[in-house]
């Protein structure tokens, strides 16, 4: 189901069958849950779908936040000229990596803290909803 959500930002007629497929899979999983008299089958798939949607939204927001500082220069860039694109990358990204080692280190350090916190939160969610000790 994760791969099917990649097409949603595309054209509407391409994303509607993907959304319909996800809905049909959820209906089928609900039927399995009714047949086996185990509602956790449907609940776990629904929780997974919700977590996937939240993750995709978070990734898009992070990308937008990271691209905003160089957005004006990206708008002026001639994308058909490969030399200009190469020079833009060299000017904006290479200078950042050479001069901002402290910022890069701080970013990695903050990432490690956030990932450990999110891992603990995710484990608590799994233990709460699924009743399993992970």
pLDDT tens for each residue of 93-133 = 665 555 555 555 666 667 677 777 777 777 777 777 776 66
pTM greater than 0.85: no
The answer for 77, left when phi > 0, alpha when psi is -120 to 50, beta otherwise, is beta
How does pLDDT run across 72-97, given as a tens digit for each residue?
888 888 888 888 888 887 777 665 55
The pLDDT of residue 76 is 86
How does pLDDT run across 6-61, given as a tens digit for each residue?
545 556 667 778 888 899 999 999 999 999 999 988 998 998 889 888 888 888 88
What is the domain partition of the chain in residue ranges?
A: 3-70
Q: What is the largest CA-CA distance in the chain?
A: 63
CA 128 to each of CA 37, 95, 121, 123: distance values in angstroms, whole numbers, following the listed order = 20, 46, 10, 9
């Amino acid at each position: 189901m994760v791969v099917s959500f990649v097409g949603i930002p595309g054209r509407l007629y391409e994303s509607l069958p993907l959304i319909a497929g996800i809905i049909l899979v959820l209906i089928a999983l609900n039927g399995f849950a009714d047949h086996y008299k185990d509602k956790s089958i449907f609940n776990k798939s629904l929780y997974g779908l919700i977590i996937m949607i939240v993750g995709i939204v978070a990734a898009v927001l992070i990308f937008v936040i990271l691209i905003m500082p160089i957005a004006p220069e990206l708008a002026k860039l001639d994308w058909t000229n490969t030399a200009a694109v190469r020079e833009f990358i060299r000017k904006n990204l290479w200078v950042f990596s050479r001069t901002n080692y402290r910022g890069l280190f701080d970013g990695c350090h903050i990432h490690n803290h956030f990932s450990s916190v999110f891992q603990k939160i995710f484990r608590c969610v799994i233990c709460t909803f699924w009743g399993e000790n992970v």
